[in-house]
Structure 1
């Protein structure tokens, strides 16, 4: 997989993928969300935060992915990749099967591709202002693009803290959690996302669509 950085093109073959969940910095809000999801059948996490292990082959640069059934949607997340002895920050979507979540969150994450943006920044260049980075996503709904998520990384546990729970060896990639969905989590086939650095005046953007595969028995 290739990534574009201000230093040039990076060649990397991810050999481990971690999807961090329940990473909100406000623990009371996280607990409340766990209770809300439990009410609709989503099992509570065994730990907070929780590190789901997924196949690195799920990471994709494709702008069209396939999902089983109609109940899936994306989540914009900070993306970390360790390669060449250096840590990089990018943007990815934890596309998830919402129906399968009620059976197993881990299964719901493993079943869906994880689109990842092409651009990355050196982590050392943003480490001193991570909380000011702005994360935003949109879904195409009822004929128009609507804001689905919006906020700063200050709402997510510090990325250095999240990394302390994972061995970030060369080839390790991690999705670092997300922001609440405006209007609630819901299915959406078309997804756009952006990570903006207001200090350095630059933005990483990516978009993709999910086609629906029929659920047959």
Structure 2
């Protein structure tokens, strides 16, 4: 895979992929969600935030991903990458198997590919403006594109704080958490995502489709 910055293409090699969960900045809201899930029989996280290690092979720039069954859905997330001693900010989707999530969150994170955009920004250049960055996800639903997630990074714990909570050596990439789903979490076949920088009037975009594979027994 490759990523680009200001038109310059760089090879991307990720040795360690992390999915950070329970990263909401509003601690009371995070606890409320944990309590709701507990009532459904879903075990609470052992710590908050929680860092799930997944296979580095899950990170992909393919425009179509294959998923098992029809119960998976994407989540728009900032993506941090450390390459050659430098930190980059990108955009990715934590596509997750929701049915499997009820059994094991860790297993659900490992079950699906994680699409990522091909463009990145210099983290140091944008670090002072992180809270103002806008995350947005649209899904194709009932014949039209509808807004599924929309908000700023101010809703997510500071990215520097998330990095400090885990080993973040060269070759590490981390999906850093997401926003609430408008209308509830649900599957979709097509996604359009964006990370927008209003101060510099620029955006990183990501589009992909999820192709369902039949469940046979």
Q: TM-score range by the shorter chain?
A: over 0.9
- Runs of 4+ aligned residues of structure 1 deviating over 4 Å after TM superposition are none
Q: Which residue of 1 aligns with 2:163?
A: 163
Instruction: Kindly state the Cα deviation for residue 111 of structure 1 after the two structures are TM-superposed.
Output: 0.7
Partner SS for 1:146: strand
Could you list the runs of 5+ residues in structure 2 that have no partner in the other structure? none
Instruction: Kindly state the Cα deviation for residue 40 of structure 1 after the two structures are TM-superposed.
Output: 2.8
Q: Which residue of 2 aligns with 1:183?
A: 183
Q: d(CA) in 1 for partners of 2:161 and 2:8?
A: 28
Q: d(CA) in 2 for partners of 1:56 and 1:126?
A: 26
Could you list the runs of 5+ residues in structure 1 that have no partner in the other structure? none
Q: Which residue of 2 aligns with 1:174?
A: 174
Q: d(CA) in 2 for partners of 1:35 and 1:207?
A: 33
Q: Which residue of 1 aligns with 2:135?
A: 135
Native 8 Å contact 1:101 1:108 kept in 2:
yes
State the superposition RMSD in angstroms.
0.9
TM-score by length of 1: 0.98
Q: d(CA) in 2 for partners of 1:50 and 1:14?
A: 20
Once the two structures are superposed, the pairs formed by residues 15-164 of structure 1 within 5 Å of their partners are 15-164=15-164
Q: d(CA) in 2 for partners of 1:27 and 1:59?
A: 29
Q: d(CA) in 1 for partners of 2:15 and 2:194?
A: 25
Q: Which residue of 2 aligns with 1:6?
A: 6
Q: d(CA) in 2 for partners of 1:123 and 1:201?
A: 16
